[in-house]
């Protein structure tokens, strides 16, 4: 039961008898005739009847499930050549109300974590610059670790020796 194929362009999408509750997407070799040789071996993506999407995965168990037997990457890229656009993921649930946790590139090459209604510098909680400086509470860290806040900051550090003894204490 093939819903549609287009062999000349090398792709097909199907709803077939072996998979009745969703749609599968396949790639085909250049010499394959449309409607033939559509197998799980050339399946590339699937949308289940419950709305789960599998890329390289025939049994997705989340809204988006990407799988492969080699390195797997997810690329988010702004291609605007004249403006540094935001490239980020944002997270929310009932506890965050109208706020989001944002993570990504906030109109620069710095990596930041922010919390609020927008992905702005004022909402930045943690930032790593392209040069490796880390800011906690600072949107422009001037040193390798820059902790900013309205109260005195203390840093607790611990060093573990190879004999499992510990040297620890507060700095600052």
pLDDT, tens digit only, all 172 positions of the chain: 444 444 445 555 565 555 667 888 777 655 555 555 555 567 888 899 899 999 999 899 999 999 999 999 999 999 998 999 999 999 999 999 999 999 999 999 999 999 999 998 889 999 999 999 999 988 889 999 888 877 766 666 666 666 666 665 556 5
- Residue 2 is predicted with a pLDDT of 46
Give the tokens for residue 21. 């509750």
Q: Tell me, what's the pLDDT at 4?
A: 47
Please count the other Cβ atoms lying within 10 Å of the Cβ belonging to residue 48. Answer: 18
- What pLDDT was estimated at residue 1? 44
* pLDDT for the residue numbered 29: 57
Q: What is the pLDDT of residue 34?
A: 53
Residue 154: CB atoms within 10 A of its CB come to 9
């Amino acid at each position: 039961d093939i819903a549609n194929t287009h062999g000349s362009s090398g792709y097909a999408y199907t709803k077939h008898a072996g998979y009745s509750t969703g749609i599968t997407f396949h790639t085909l070799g250049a010499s394959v005739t449309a409607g033939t040789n559509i197998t799980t071996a050339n399946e590339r993506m699937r949308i289940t009847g419950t709305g789960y999407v599998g890329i390289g995965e025939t049994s997705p168990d989340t809204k988006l499930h990407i799988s492969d037997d080699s390195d797997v990457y997810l690329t988010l890229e702004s291609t605007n050549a004249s403006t540094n656009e935001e490239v980020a993921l944002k997270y929310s649930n009932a506890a965050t109300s109208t706020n989001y946790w944002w993570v990504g590139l906030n109109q620069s090459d710095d990596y930041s974590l922010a919390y609020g209604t927008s992905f702005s510098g004022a909402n930045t909680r943690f930032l790593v610059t392209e040069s490796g400086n880390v800011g906690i509470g600072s949107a422009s860290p001037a040193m390798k670790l820059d902790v900013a806040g309205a109260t005195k900051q203390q840093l607790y550090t611990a060093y573990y020796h190879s004999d499992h003894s510990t040297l620890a204490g507060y700095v600052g």
